[in-house]
Structure 1
Amino acid sequence: MFDHQCTACEKRQLIFTSQVTSLTNTDHGIVVAFTCWCGAAQTLVTGSKATSTSKVTLAA
């Protein structure tokens, strides 16, 4: 699970693995596609090549 601020509803919520729809390796990092609790499709780029100013917390 990880936390994410939705661009549609603007709420910061925990995203669970059941909400993840795909993981794609790219030159910029790993693109995680998922569905927010509000139903909006969202993406997050993570990994060592990701450039982000927000802190992401991952848990097993």
Structure 2
Amino acid sequence: MFDHHCTACDKRQLIFPSQVTSLVNTDHGIVVSFECWCGAEQTMLTGRTADHREPVAA
């Protein structure tokens, strides 16, 4: 579980594992794709090699 600020509904929401649709390892970090409670598809870059923890386009 993690929190995320949705770019569609402009709310900070808790995201549960059941909402995660994919995890992709890249040279820049881990791209996590998930569906917000509002139904919007979102992505987030995370991991040790991530420069920041902002949403990214997948």
- 1 or 2 for the larger relative contact order (CA 8 Å, sep ≥6)? 1
Give TM-score, length-normalised by structure 2.
Answer: 0.88
Moved >2 Å (runs of 4+): none
Deviation, 1:32, is: 0.3
Instruction: Please report how far the alpha carbon of residue 52 of structure 1 lies from its aligned counterpart in structure 2 after TM superposition.
Output: 1.5
* Runs of 5+ unmatched residues, structure 1: 55-60
Give me the whole-angstrom Cα distance separating, in 2, the residues matched to 1:51 and 1:35.
23
Q: Does 1:20 align with 2:20?
A: yes
% identity of equivalent residues:
72
Partner of 1:35: 35
Q: CA RMSD in A?
A: 1.2
The change in CA–CA distance for 1:50 and 1:21 in structure 2 (over 3 A counts) is same
* Shift, 1:53, TM fit: 5.8
**One-letter amino acid of the counterpart of residue 30, structure 1:** I
Aligned length in residues: 54
Structure 2: runs of 5 or more not aligned: none
